[in-house]
Structure 1
């Protein structure tokens, strides 16, 4: 009910303390003018917030605003027209200003909506492709599963290599020229070719163990993990 009434009420005066407002309110009500108050409890509890919230606000019905001002002037509560109102309150009491604010709000809302659409469209257009997601990183091969058996990589090169603790030495490398380097399994590295095919990748022309590595793989990739799955073989990789 109060919400409906407030639509027809305007600020007639503001006061620093609730005690000051109480006298003015009593005077108006004695003249048959209904009053509403805002921010009284806030300032009663926290006096230091009075200036921050614009004081305690006294509202009267629009139809009785002029009479209320006259009574408050006669009682010394108002020195001149609207002298107790802040500049913001005076602005908001003007219906024309409220219409302007509504128009500005609609324009701002429209601009925000347009910017949001542009950002979403830009994100979709610039979404990384499968090649970018895979080829831009060094993927450490943890293990593969072939025909339900797990195998862990251990590349054997012709020369002794220094293996550092906590550093991945078994990397799955997707080159942009279409070359795929796969770690060995108690053997040297396997060199294959790869290409994007539909939503996955196709591995072909592996120079050894082609029955394990050749095929079309489904790709699951995020910022930390890469999983490549074919009917017979699955690669489990993570970022180095």
Structure 2
């Protein structure tokens, strides 16, 4: 009887632990504890909250929640043939603590938004114009490519943290808009970060990791890794 009496308490504790674990795994940006927390630049006097300091709510205006310019195409003349125009907390202070952001991506013919990840946010992409080949790669051990050809009006989702890309396979330009589940989703462009880091990653590390000759790694490290943001 004594042992049995402890079982309900142990089961309840286990259930609470499981629920807490699920909550932590599924968490993204912190929930706001106030109507808004318009971000201020660090040199202005304010209270530090959720990674950005807050503007006095009495001084907030409509412009703190406004961005102008997404109607304008991005310059796609660079080597990648694409341009990302982000609208995150750096562009709209009112996004602070709200857990969302936006981006416009323009693609020249054959333009590429190269393999990259967003460590803090999932992405939902809607194609407004053109034809895009998109895809993401699942995590180890499968490393499976999930890929699709999208046309105007199509929507595709890239899960948080997974490597993904978009490639314009149409004959004309392409335009897409992306929503992200973070005010600051972050960006890791795989080639840039691996071969263009400062200081460079040790040559032996990259040679062994990619199983190629030293000359190949040295060649890649000497390239100019273009940032399309």
- With the shorter chain as reference, the TM-score category is under 0.3
| TM-score normalised according to structure 1 size | 0.22
TM-score (norm 2): 0.23
- Structure number with bigger Rg: 1
Determine which structure has greater relative contact order: mean sequence separation of CA pairs < 8 Å that are 6+ residues apart, divided by chain length. Answer: 2
Larger proportion of helix: 1
